[in-house]
Amino acid sequence: MFKTTDIKQFIRFSAVGVVNTLVFYAVYLVMLWVGFFYVVAATAGTVSGIVNSYIMNKKFTFRANSNPKDTHLREKIRFAAICLVQYLVNLAVIFACINFVGMSAELAGLPAVGIAIFVGFFGHKFWTFKN
């Protein structure tokens, strides 16, 4: 079912996720320290994390070269689309866990993140960075 390369890619994808979280939090904290409003700081951190994610997943996780038929813009649009789908899946799972399962909002984020990770991995593997 899963090849060794798929498992290695998933491990690299997860490691990139940890780095993205650190990038987000570092930018967020620095911007708060400088005096920015938390919404601006969080937005800048999120954008920084997404940019880092694109670069690291392209070069490190999937080791993708842009397809000659594809433009870099198309690849970036696909990446953003998968990020949006991940976000929407995350919200839907949180909503379901809170409203149908009865979980607290704090705990509902855990299964949501877990599912969103798989959505992102397979979306980027088979669509964004498909070789």
Whether residue 76 is found in the same domain as residue 57? no
Cα first-last separation, the chain: 19
Burial label, 100 (beta-carbon count in 10 A; 0-12, 13-18, 19+): exposed
Q: Is 130 left (phi over 0), alpha (psi -120 to 50) or beta?
A: beta
Whether residue 45 is found in the same domain as residue 74? no
Predicted pLDDT at 64: 83
Domain count, the chain: 2
pTM for the predicted model, two decimal places? 0.82
Question: 107 near 97, Cβ under 8 Å?
Answer: yes
Q: Indicate the pLDDT class of residue 104, thresholds 50, 70 and 90.
A: very high
Could you tell me which of 61, 54, 55 has the C-alpha nearest to residue 14?
61
Span 60-80, pLDDT tens digits: 999 887 666 656 889 999 999
For the record, the structure tokens of 47 come out as 């954008």
Give the whole-angstrom CA distance, residue 33 versus residue 19. Answer: 21
Q: Indicate the pLDDT class of residue 130, thresholds 50, 70 and 90.
A: confident
Predicted pLDDT at 70: 56
Contacts of residue 65, Cβ cutoff 8 Å, sequence gap at least 6? 131
Structure-model confidence comparison of residues 29 and 69, the more confident one? 29
Of 23, 39, 63, which residue constitutes the final position of a domain?
Answer: 63
Share above pLDDT 70 across residues of the chain, in percent, rounded to a whole number: 93
What is the per-residue DSSP string for 29-74? HHHHHHT--HHHHHHHHHHHHHHHHHHHIIIIIS-----TTS-HHH
Average confidence score pLDDT of the chain: 90
Whether residue 130 is found in the same domain as residue 81? yes
Of 29-33, 62-66, 95-99, which gets the smallest average pLDDT?
Answer: 62-66
Q: 76 is in which domain, residue-wise?
A: 67-131
